[in-house]
Amino acid sequence: MRIGILGGTFDPIHYGHIRPAMEVKASLKLDKILLMPNHIPPHKNSTHSSTAQRLEMVAQVCEALTGFELCDIEAKRDSPSYTVVTLKQLSRLYPNDELFFIMGMDSFIHLQSWHQWQQLFELSNIVVCQRPGWHLAEGHPMLHELNVRHATLDALSHSSAPQHGRIFTVDISPQDISSTQIRSQLAMGEIPQDALLPITLNYIQKQRLYFS
């Protein structure tokens, strides 16, 4: 199988996460996508909802969408959620499958600052979602990686055995939605209906999450 992996804080999960994931799933003909909330994000101090609440929101989204599954291995970890550690664990869980770790260009630009980032290519393919305003300048260290490892979507149709170490770029529709914006709206008593799945909005309202 081809398995996509999308990690994040998901505080809360919203269409800005889901729609790009759907477009990646369709473009790369992935069999499923694992939505993976992290427990202790290495680059953030804290979250605004509990790990259990974020897991529940993602679980409900996965129940509502075909081809999406909750992955809770990072949420169960008591140490920071380093991607290389996670991919090693997923490689053991899915030894015969092809993994596709999904990130935005804004994250890929800073990939060389990630913990043991070179090992990521031994464990997975990288899918870079192209976003307006983010690009690799000439001489950027990740530009070399992109040039060496870049693969076209056609390459997938010609590969029979699982392969890792490739970089796929996918143009996605712009999503002007952020968790920060959603939390701010809710704190002011506004209901961001267009940003959230109805099931997520219902959970947030029942739990009184993010309301002042």
Alpha-carbon gap, residue 13 to 32, rounded angstroms: 18
In a domain, 56, yes or no: yes
Amino acid, res. 127: V
Q: How many CB atoms lie within 10 A of CB 96?
A: 7
Higher pLDDT, 153 or 52: 52
> What confidence score (pLDDT) does residue 132 get?
66
Binned at pLDDT 50, 70 and 90, residue 61 comes out as very high
Q: Return the percentage of the chain with pLDDT > 70, whole number.
A: 94
Q: Which domain holds residue 185?
A: 2-207
In a domain, 212, yes or no: no
Tell me the H-state helices in 29-140: 51-64, 83-93, 105-108, 120-123
Give residue 9's Cα distance to chain centre.
Answer: 9
Rounded to the nearest integer, the mean pLDDT of the chain is 91
Say if pTM beats, i.e. exceeds, 0.85. Answer: yes
> What confidence score (pLDDT) does residue 78 get?
81
**β-sheet bridge partners, residue 99:** 3
The yes-or-no verdict on residue 177 having pLDDT over 70 is: yes
Binned at pLDDT 50, 70 and 90, residue 42 comes out as low
Phi/psi for 192 (5° steps) reads -80, 70
Element (H, E) at 100: strand 98-104
Q: How many domains does the chain have?
A: 1
Beta carbons of 57 and 78 less than 8 angstroms apart: no
Which residue is listed with tokens 């990646």?
Answer: 24
Alpha-carbon gap, residue 172 to 180, rounded angstroms: 21
Beta carbons of 7 and 81 less than 8 angstroms apart: yes
In a domain, 174, yes or no: yes
In this prediction, residues 187-212 reach a mean pLDDT of 94
In a domain, 33, yes or no: yes
Number of helices (H), then strands (E), belonging to the chain: the values are 9, 6
Give the domain CATH number at 164: 3.40.50.620
In a domain, 46, yes or no: yes
In this prediction, residues 82-103 reach a mean pLDDT of 95
In a domain, 89, yes or no: yes
Beta carbons of 54 and 60 less than 8 angstroms apart: no
Amino acid, res. 167: I
> What confidence score (pLDDT) does residue 121 get?
96
Binned at pLDDT 50, 70 and 90, residue 91 comes out as very high
Binned at pLDDT 50, 70 and 90, residue 41 comes out as low
Alpha-carbon gap, residue 153 to 161, rounded angstroms: 15
> 113-126, pLDDT tens digit by residue?
999 999 999 999 99
In a domain, 156, yes or no: yes
Coil, helix or strand for 71? coil
Binned at pLDDT 50, 70 and 90, residue 82 comes out as confident
